[in-house]
């Protein structure tokens, strides 16, 4: 099983359910680094995935979608232990970490 995907640090934008859902959850990916990320759109970007560590979310200023309905970015990430949040983050959307019970550390 894969545990890490190389090259994600070059991604600038992610959309709806980019890393969410059963296919990604079954992949076994445990670590993600999105250090060049500048924008997100849609919702549920990591919903129900088995990711454990998010090393970087780049320079995004909001961890929410474009509308009030587009939220829940880490909803149901039951294995999530650490997320490094950007210094300039000003908004965390509705249900962003809901049911991510094992989240132990944020920076």
Instruction: Give the pLDDT of residue 68.
Output: 56
For residues 3 and 64, the model is more confident at 64
pLDDT in tens, 52-84: 999 999 999 988 866 555 578 898 898 899 999
Q: 107: which residues sit within 8 A by CB, 6+ positions away? A: 82, 83, 84, 85
**Does residue 26 register a pLDDT over 80?**
no
What mean pLDDT comes out for the span 34-63?
A: 90
CA 17 to chain CA centroid, nearest Å:
10
Nearest to 54 by CA among 18, 4, 2: 4
What mean pLDDT comes out for the span 17-34?
A: 80
For the chain, report the end-to-end CA distance as a whole number of angstroms: 28
Instruction: Give the pLDDT of residue 16.
Output: 84
H-state helical runs in the chain = 22-27
pTM of the full structure: 0.83
């Amino acid at each position: 099983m894969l545990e890490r995907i190389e090259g994600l640090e070059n991604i600038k934008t992610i959309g709806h359910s980019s890393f969410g859902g059963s296919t990604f959850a079954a992949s076994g990916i445990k670590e993600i680094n999105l250090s060049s990320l500048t924008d997100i759109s849609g919702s549920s970007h990591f919903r129900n995935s088995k990711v454990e560590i998010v090393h970087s979310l780049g320079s995004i200023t909001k961890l929410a979608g474009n509308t009030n309905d587009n939220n829940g970015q880490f909803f149901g990430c039951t294995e999530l232990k650490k997320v490094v949040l950007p210094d300039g983050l000003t908004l965390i959307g509705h249900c962003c970490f809901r049911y991510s019970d094992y989240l132990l550390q944020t920076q």
